Structure 1
Amino acid sequence: MIDLKGKVAVVFGLANKRSIAWAIAQKLNEAGARVAICYQSERLAREAEALLPELNDAKAFQCDVSVDAEIDNVFEQLKATYGKLDIIVHSVAFAPADAIKNDFLETKREDFRVALDVSAYSLIAVARGAAPLMTDGGSILTLTYYGSTKVFPNYNAMGVAKAALEATVRYLAASLGSKKIRVNAISAGPIKTLAARGIGDFNKILNAVEERAPLHRNVETVEVGNAAIFLASDLASGITGEVTFVDCGYNVTGL
């Protein structure tokens, strides 16, 4: 069993109990880590506070990762509360509805900017805030999707944002390696989360995975959580700059 006792993990992007961020937070806590969960706005505060009792010694903080002042503020709070950090989970992505549902050719400049800012640049901003507190090194994880390299219907600008996110992982890995901070991404298969509701015909993607993936089923959030605690632990001490697929093998298939 993976032991993360004595570690402090901060999970950005909690939406509700069905989110991948929540599954990862639970697994980190089960492994012994002290967990801080960060939610985006007051609207999501009630959901986060309601989930806290299910974790041992957890705290919740508000942080909109598209606002630098809020990132600075939350890391000041985290420093005051924990002193140092060991694990950061970035489970954040957003694109305006039009940038997902409209034909990709019609993507508006501002919608594209927002998608790249929230979904990719925010990882840089969060890593910059976390690095000074990761005094013993550690692990930074983000969540991506296969739509970064292959065209999926109704994914559009988000696919480009995920491609940028994966490149960001590689460059951050190079930037932070000397500080013994590893940076990796998990490419999870499609899961029915709040974010997935914005993707048209999402059930068709789920059905295609079940039909074609080597395991002939869709991945579960707990399996993403299992991969996360491995990558966060010393068992993965030699892994950085990588994208790890947790998708029941779908990415290896052709037809």
Structure 2
Amino acid sequence: MSESSDERRLPPVLTGRKALVVGVANDRSIAWGCAQAMRRVGAELALTYLNEKARLHVEPLARQLEAPVFMPLEVRDSTQVDALFEAISNHWGKLDILVHSIAFAPREALQGRVIDCPRDGFLAAMEVSCWSLLDLARRAEPLMREGGTIITMSYLGANEVVENYGIMGPVKAALESAVRYLAVELGPKGIRVHAVSPGPLATRAASGIRDFDELMERVVVSAPTRRLVTIEEVGAACAFLASPYAAAMTGETLYIDGGFHILA
């Protein structure tokens, strides 16, 4: 992994920390930006891949970051979730950081009207995109004996109606609410919980949103910074949240969108 001189000067604020990053699909995914940033400032990583097709793209990235734990994870398969946390417990005996960067909705649920969303589509979106955070956090809790940080990915559609975002808007709203409840419940144990809300990025997950290119164009024209954010910038924000610099912060939804969310 090549580094600029500025990157080499970053303080190793996560040295000794063990981080599980869930949701790396390829080198354009937000989770990859998070994994790179955390490794750059000293964290040791565990990465997962969804299935054998995804493994082809993710395994070289895991090698690049020297991840000692690299396992399949379909969050609806409790056997795989059990195996992942058993491996983390056996290899590290603890966990300091959990990055939850996964979301899913069937195409018919995502592209149709919210009012017409089929029950099974809604339940699938909620299970993968929201309930899985609760499940992973519950399993991470006993491994975060010295405290820790849990971070998940949201989007502006949780709080505003975003055209073509469909059922994911209500699901992300539930996710942000879950973050606040987790922050209160886990705070006494020194575990901080955050949602990060990036601006639109050309990721594989975003490809299922109709007219997404037009949405990105509107952001470039309207956002105060007049550009899209990058996965590296999202990753840097997540590394900050997991670091001692953010020790007094929890329960937040942090927007990394060039200021687009402040516009009426």
TM-score range, shorter chain: over 0.9
Letter in 2 for 1:127: A
Determine if contact 1:68/1:125 at 8 Å carries over to the other structure.
no
Q: CA deviation at 1:105?
A: 2.1
Question: In the alignment, is residue 134 of structure 1 matched against residue 134 of structure 2?
Answer: no
Deviation at 1:58, TM superposition (A): 4.2
Which stretch of the first structure deviates more once superposed, 67-76 or 153-162?
67-76
In 2: Cα distance, 1:163 partner to 1:243 partner: 11
- In structure 2, how many angstroms separate the alpha carbons of the residues matched to 1:30 and 1:167? 31
Count of equivalent residues: 254
Aligned to 2:56: 46
Q: Residue 5 of structure 1 corresponds to which residue in structure 2?
A: 15
- Which ranges in structure 1 are unaligned for 5 or more consecutive residues? none
Q: CA deviation at 1:41?
A: 1.9
Does residue 215 of structure 2 align to residue 205 of structure 1?
yes
Q: CA deviation at 1:237?
A: 0.5
How far apart, CA to CA, are the structure 2 residues paired with 1:44 and 1:182? Answer: 30
Q: Establish whether residue 109 from structure 1 lines up as the match of residue 122 from structure 2.
A: no
**Partner deviation per Cα, 1:29-70 (whole Å, 9 max, x = no partner):** 000100111122222122221212321354311111122232
Q: Report what 1:60 is aligned to.
A: 70
Select which of 158, 161, 183 maps to 1:151: 161
* Partner Cα separation in structure 2 for residue 151 and residue 83 of structure 1: 43
1:34 equivalent in structure 2 = 44
Q: Scaled by the length of structure 1, what TM-score is found?
A: 0.97
Distance in structure 2 (CA, Å) of the matches to 1:181 and 1:42:
33
2: distance between equivalents of 1:102 and 1:56?
Answer: 42
- SS of the residue 2:57 aligns to: helix
Q: Percent same amino acid among aligned pairs?
A: 43
Q: Which residue of 2 aligns with 1:85?
A: 95
Q: Give, in whole Å, the separation in 2 of the partners of 1:83 and 1:246.
A: 33
> What residue number does 1:188 align with?
198
Contact kept? 2:47, 2:67, Cα under 8 Å: no
> For 1:243, which of 253, 256, 259 is the aligned residue?
253
**Partner Cα separation in structure 1 for residue 220 and residue 254 of structure 2:** 20
Distance 1:143 1:85 in 2: 19
Unaligned runs of 5+ in 2: 1-9
- 3-state SS of 1:123 partner: helix
The SS at the match of 2:227 is: coil
Q: What is the Cα deviation at residue 225 of structure 1?
A: 0.6
Three-state SS of the structure 2 residue aligned to 1:219 is coil
CA distance in structure 2 between the aligned counterparts of 1:223 and 1:155, rounded to whole angstroms = 23
Q: C-alpha root-mean-square deviation of aligned residues, in Å?
A: 1.0
Q: Which amino acid aligns with 2:15?
A: K
Partner residue, 1:97: 107
Distance 2:44 2:122 in 1: 36
Check whether the contact 2:199–2:257 (CA below 8 A) recurs between aligned residues. Answer: yes
Query: Secondary structure of 2:196's match?
Result: strand
